[in-house]
Amino acid sequence: MKRLVTALSAATALLLAGCAGGAVAGSPAQPTAPTAGAEATGPVNAADVMFLQMMIPHHRQSIEIARLAGKQAADPAVKTMAEAIAVTQAAEVFAMSERLYGWNQPLTVGKDAHAAHGGMPEIAKKAIARLRKAPPGEFDRDFLQMLIAHHDDGVQMSNTEVSTGANPATVEQARKLSQALSAQIDHMLDLLTRIDPVAGRTASPSTSPV
């Protein structure tokens, strides 16, 4: 448990270091008016905008499934991890939204707008509905498998921004996000192996952090 808390705290500090500063309270859905800061200065290209526009809904879906685990997970370690991820990613959504506002860009675009750029489909609503109805003895395993895959998508998106982005703060944020998500994947694989050794041995993310 100490290892988990330390890892998540470090990940939170790394991620928020690349985002807009300031304490966040309440819902992240309505960011305040943008403030001038280093994160909104310097060159910005379409890849930077696309990364934030894709990562915001990706994070929101992570929050949705993490909150399910906060309520339904049987394993205390799974529940604690899920609750921490939900809080951390809510703050990240707020910060990414403020950055887009600072660039006078919309927070989201049509679901097919970035398809030509390698945009990844979000987890289907039906899959989340199935997870919500999973029996207690299966929920933790199904949740970990789903979030591992979802985090792996986030690593791929972040790595693409590192390779193609122009805004220094956003590229650095993506680099740290890739590393933090990968560390969380490793921890979830450990939890999955303990809960279901067969599932843990067969689960393997496809992407490494940059």
* pLDDT one-digit tens code per residue, 123-136: 578 889 999 999 99
Q: Is residue 20 part of a domain?
A: no
Predicted structure pTM score:
0.75
From CA 106, how far away is CA 97, in angstroms rounded?
A: 9
- Could you tell me which residue, 26 or 102, shows the higher pLDDT? 102
Residue 157 domain boundaries: 41-202
Q: Is residue 207 part of a domain?
A: no
| Cβ partners under 8 Å of residue 182, min gap 6 | 151, 155, 205, 207, 208, 209
Q: Is residue 13 part of a domain?
A: no
- Could you tell me which residue, 42 or 169, shows the higher pLDDT? 169
Mean pLDDT of the residues in the chain: 80
Q: What is the CATH number for 157?
A: 1.20.1260.10
Residue 66's pLDDT is what?
97
* pLDDT one-digit tens code per residue, 18-75: 333 333 333 333 333 333 334 557 899 999 999 999 999 999 999 999 999 999 999 9
Domain count, the chain: 1
Amino acid, res. 53: Q
Q: Is residue 2 part of a domain?
A: no
Q: What is the DSSP string of 127-181?
A: HHHHHHT--HHHHHHHHHHHHHHHHHHHHHHHHHHHHH---HHHHHHHHHHHHHH
Exposure letters 118-145 (e unless 16+ CB within 10 A, then b) = ebbebbeeeebeebeebeeeebbbbbbb
Q: Is residue 87 part of a domain?
A: yes
Q: At residue 140, does pLDDT exceed 80? A: yes
